[in-house]
Structure 1
Amino acid sequence: MRYRYLLFVFYLCFVTATGQISDFARLEYKVLPRGNSNFGYSRARAAVNYPIELKNSNYLLLGLDYSNIEMSFDPEIAKFNTDIIQDFQMLEFNLAYIKKLKNDWRLGVRFTPGFSSNLGSKITFEDAVFAGDVVFINDKRDDTTIDKPYRLIVGVSYSQNRGISFPLPFISYYRKFHPKWSYNLGVPKSNLQYHISKKSRLKLVTELDGFTANIQEGLPVNNEEDLAKKINVSLILGGLRYEFKIKDHLELFCNFSGVLMETAELRNKDNDKVSTVDKKNTIYFGTGIRIKK
């Protein structure tokens, strides 16, 4: 069981490694229905990235990523006050630099400061979160001289939201092996794509989702014997995704997924689990629109 949990945490390390950095703008709404579980949540998200072209085909990328999360708890929960953790706000600032290297390789470096909190009072340093990535990218998706276009990304990624204090490796591999079929292996997402037409695609997807946030002032649990300072919700999802290109670079997407694995924990200041909730969530929905390169 411990091995399974460590493997789960290792997978979660990649959630912020690439994010949605290829999107110029993105609006989305996700729902984890409570159902027979003790909790559920909805997440509204808006993100924008602005690329600045520099000399020699190098780029600087500036971006903002905002989320509002509304929690839903079983009213019969008595081991902690759910009112304190009903609402969370998250804001991240993206600063990335992409440098062209030899042999069609590029270097990408990203620094992402921000905050993640229930904002019960003024923002403090405890609400701050930091992340960073260093990756090498070899993108041959538009290369007409090869039979099977591909993209390879390798590097390292770090984020305070993971609950581990050191960088971990990252790899993502995409290949189109047939005019109507392609796949992407990696994390946070892996998928098998069927290209229905030039405007629409259907994907079989596995992906990670969830969040970590600070609880200002803390949340007494276990008959006030412990004080929770963070909430962590982590999901492994599997399901279908449909994408439709409305216009060039403008795309609508919808997700319907099953919950393959999940954790929902309250943690103390040392990041140790002090309480959890009943986890019986089975389905997950998402939809949105994005402007992509």
Structure 2
Amino acid sequence: MRVRLLLLFLFIYSLASQAQLSDLARLDFTFIPNKGSDVEYTRSRFLVNYPLKLRKEGQFLFLGVDYSNVHLRFKDNDLPFDRELLNDFKLLDFTIGFTKPLKNGWRLGVRIQPGISTNNAARNLSAEDAVFSGDLVFIKKFEKDIERPSRLIVGLSYSQNRGYVFPLPFISYYRKFRPDWSYNLGIPKSNLQYHLSDKHRIKLYAQLDGFTSNIQNGALVNENEFAELINMSLINGGLQYEYHFTDHFQLDLRAAYNFSLSNKLKDGDNNTILTIDNDSRSYLRAVLKFKI
């Protein structure tokens, strides 16, 4: 049973591009100040997941809900659109995940997430608010060297409400190369981790982040164009501190530098009609989670 739970954790950890299914419950707060930009970004997020063991050996099903509220505060009063239409967004995903063992020590992981993503000014949902996300990954563990275990994960990840609205390769290679040191190389996240003690860990990391949402009924821009989508995408890297209250309950604090950050309003064909100035380089995040 312990081996099954470990395999289960390895699978759900691999799906960390949107939300870690290893987290049975999570509170997540992200803040990007408007220093050097026209917009301030705040995201509050809550998710719950429930794993179900299936009858067949090594197979599990996951059911969950992932909810976010994104708040944008615009500093420039001369921006050519109604800011009240674009200051609050709701993102809601329903998660269905599945994992099963394959031949030669490989494991299959599949996740689908139907949901909605819309501006808070919308009173009623429409078909344009519907979004879809999905992941397909294959996991392989290498344990010949007990002191230096490693793991390879390869696959594809797609999401309509992420900052990057096209399929991304999911690649993750983990290796523990010293008793207190490990690294994870891949897309959408890489890190180098050091265990200070059983309770304290620090990481250097780099990642992709962002969100995309429908703008219901459109927002008039420049008096002749309507924005139907808002897209924020960023690439950042920084320092993460972890405090482990128990083996299953932890606090993560992150401070990062934004190497690339863009805010765009787009039409229904995904063509950019306005880029909002955003040169903010600070990224702060706090995560409290209970995990398997």
Return the TM-score normalized by structure 1: 0.89
The within-5 A match list for 1:192-231 is 192-222=192-222, 224-231=223-230
Name the amino acid aligned to 1:288.
V
Q: Distance in 1 between matches of 2:232 and 2:69?
A: 14
1:99 pairs with 2:100 = yes
Instruction: Answer yes or no: is the 8 Å Cα contact 1:16–1:159 preserved in 2.
Output: no
CA distance in 1: counterparts of 2:168 and 2:36, whole angstroms: 35
Whole-Å separation in 2 of the counterparts to 1:191 and 1:278:
29
Q: Give 1:72 shift.
A: 0.8
Question: Would you say 1:84 and 2:108 are equivalent positions?
Answer: no
Indicate how the Cα distance of structure 1 residues 86 and 167 shifts in structure 2: closer, same or farther if over 3 A, else same.
Answer: closer
Match of 1:43 in 2: 43
Describe the SS at the equivalent of 1:126.
helix
Q: Secondary structure at the match of 1:156?
A: strand
Partner Cα distance (1:186, 1:114) in 2: 27
Per-residue deviation, 1:209: 1.4
Q: CA RMSD in A?
A: 2.0
Change in Cα spacing, 1:112 to 1:226, as seen in structure 2 (3 Å) is: same
Aligned 1:1-293 pairs, distance under 5 A: 17=17, 19-54=19-54, 55-119=56-120, 120-140=122-142, 143=143, 146-161=146-161, 167-222=167-222, 224-293=223-292
> CA offset at residue 188 of structure 1?
2.1
Any conservation in 2 of the 1:15–1:208 contact (CA below 8 Å)?
A: no
Deviation at 1:18, TM superposition (A): 5.9
* Structure 1 pair 28–128 and aligned structure 2 pair: CA distance change class (3 A): same
Q: Give the Cα–Cα distance (whole angstroms) in 2 for the partners of residues 164 and 256 of structure 1.
A: 22
1: CA distance, partners of 2:59 / 2:15: 25
Q: 1:65 to 1:243 in 2, by over 3 A?
A: same
Q: 1:48 to 1:163 in 2, by over 3 A?
A: closer
Cα deviation for residue 17 of structure 1 reads: 4.8
> Relative to 1, partners in 2 of residues 1:236 and 1:168: Cα closer, same or farther, differing over 3 Å?
closer
How big is the shift at 1:104?
2.5
1:168 Cα deviation after fit: 4.3
Deviation (angstroms), 1:145: 5.3
Structure 1: distance between partners of 2:87 and 2:269: 23
Give the residue type in structure 2 aligned to 1:291.
F
1:177 and 1:56 mapped to 2: Cα distance?
Answer: 32
Secondary structure, aligned partner of 2:37: coil
Contact residue 28 and residue 288 of structure 1 kept, 8 A: yes
1:9 counterpart residue number: none
Q: Distance between the aligned counterparts of 1:245 and 1:144, measured in 2?
A: 28
Q: 1:148 deviation in Å?
A: 1.1
Task: Determine if contact 2:170/2:188 at 8 Å carries over to the other structure.
Answer: no
What SS class does the counterpart of residue 20 from structure 1 fall into? Answer: coil
CA contact (8 A) 1:15 1:187 kept: no
Q: 2: distance between equivalents of 1:135 and 1:262?
A: 28
CA contact (8 A) 2:105 2:141 kept: yes
Amino acid at match of 1:44: S
- Counterpart residue type for residue 137 of structure 1: I
Tell me: CA distance 1:139–1:230, structure 2 relative to 1, closer, same or farther (3 Å).
same
Indicate how the Cα distance of structure 1 residues 166 and 72 shifts in structure 2: closer, same or farther if over 3 A, else same: closer
Q: CA deviation at 1:19?
A: 3.2
Tell me the CA shift for residue 166 of structure 1. 6.4
What percentage of residue pairs aligned between the two structures are identical? 48
Q: 1:111 to 1:167 in 2, by over 3 A?
A: same
User: What runs of 5+ residues in structure 1 fail to find an aligned partner?
Assistant: 1-13
- Matched letter for residue 186 of structure 1: G
- Larger displacement relative to structure 2 (168-177 or 62-71): 168-177
